[in-house]
Structure 1
Amino acid sequence: MITEEKQRVLDLFSRGRKLYKLMEFSAAKDFFSQALEVDPEDGPSRVYLERCLLYEDNPPPEDWDGVFVMTSK
């Protein structure tokens, strides 16, 4: 059974992920941050928040397909 807290994190993450795919990184970042306020240990929200911060400074190309390309190990 999913707790109310976990469901809230999942909902916030899902909303952030949709915005992320639309390249709306600033708005997506807000949802990932909110998810981390509910559960500071949520790994996926932390990863996507970091990617949003990266893409705000270095946007992907217009034809971006949503795939994150690692630049270092």
Structure 2
Amino acid sequence: MNLSAEMKQVFDLYNEGLHLYKTRKFPDAKRKFQEALQIKPDDGPSQLYVERCDTFIQSPPPEDWDGVYVMTTK
């Protein structure tokens, strides 16, 4: 797969953020997703995870959380 240097950087930041998210480090994950958005402001997955991090920063998931996000509204 051929990615531009910019897209590789976005991809790497997103993956770092995802790892932090899955290990419940929501403020750190949010920062990584925001860094990705500084490079590519229309990156939908990073935008989505910023919102999810905000949700979990305000109201952390239960201790047995498996990383799955459950939508509460439609």
Please classify the TM superposition score into its range, dividing by the shorter chain length.
over 0.9
- Identity percentage of aligned residues: 49
TM-score (structure 1 length as normaliser): 0.98
Kindly report structure 1 stretches of 4+ aligned residues shifted beyond 3 Å.
none
RMSD: 0.4
Query: Structure 1: 5+ residue runs without aligned partners?
Result: none
Number of corresponding residues: 73
Give the whole-Å Cα distance in 2 for the aligned partners of 1:67 and 1:38: 27
Give the whole-Å Cα distance in 2 for the aligned partners of 1:2 and 1:19: 23
**2:36 matches 1:54:** no
Which residue is 2:35 aligned to?
34
**2:22 matches 1:17:** no
TM-score (structure 2 length as normaliser): 0.97
